[in-house]
Amino acid sequence: SFMEILPSRDLNTIRSYFYGFSLKQRQAVTHVVMDMNASYATLVPELFPNAQIVIDRFHIVQLMTRAINTIRTGIQNLLDKHSREYKIMKNGWRLFLKKYSNLETTHRKYMRG
C-alpha cells in the first residue's frame, strides 16, 4: 500500500494519473471511497469499471447534521423569539445532534426559558 498526493484535485489531473495504471489494474479495484463531489462520481465508472462507490462516513454525518440544523432553524423562524419552545431549541441545539444512546433519560434537567 502506498499513498501519493496529486498536485491538483481537478478531473484532468485525476484522470491522467489513474490512466497511468493499466486497465487490468483498474478493473481489479472493487471499491472507491470518496466524498460527495458529483464530478468525482462521474469519473469513477470511467476509471474503475468494476468499482462500487462508497461515501465516507464523515461526509454523511456532515450532510445529516446540516439537514437537522436547517430544519431546526426553520422551525425556530416560525416561532415567537420569546417563546419557551424557541429558547429551548436555541439553547439546546446540541441535543438534536447527540447520539440517542448518550441522551440522559433518568435525571431531569432544568432548562431556563
The H or E element containing residue 77 is helix 57-78
Cα 87 from chain centroid? 28
Lookup: cell for 102: 448518550
**The pLDDT value given to residue 14:** 94
Task: Please give the single-letter amino acid code of residue 77.
Answer: N
Dihedrals phi, psi of 31, to nearest 5 degrees: -140, 140
Helix, strand, or coil (residue 31): strand
The per-residue pLDDT string of the chain (113 residues; one tens digit each, 9 = 90 and over) reads 678 899 999 999 999 999 999 999 999 999 999 988 889 999 999 999 999 999 999 989 899 889 989 999 999 999 999 998 898 888 878 887 788 888 887 877 776 65
Distance CA 12, CA 10 (A): 6
Lookup: cell for 16: 491522467
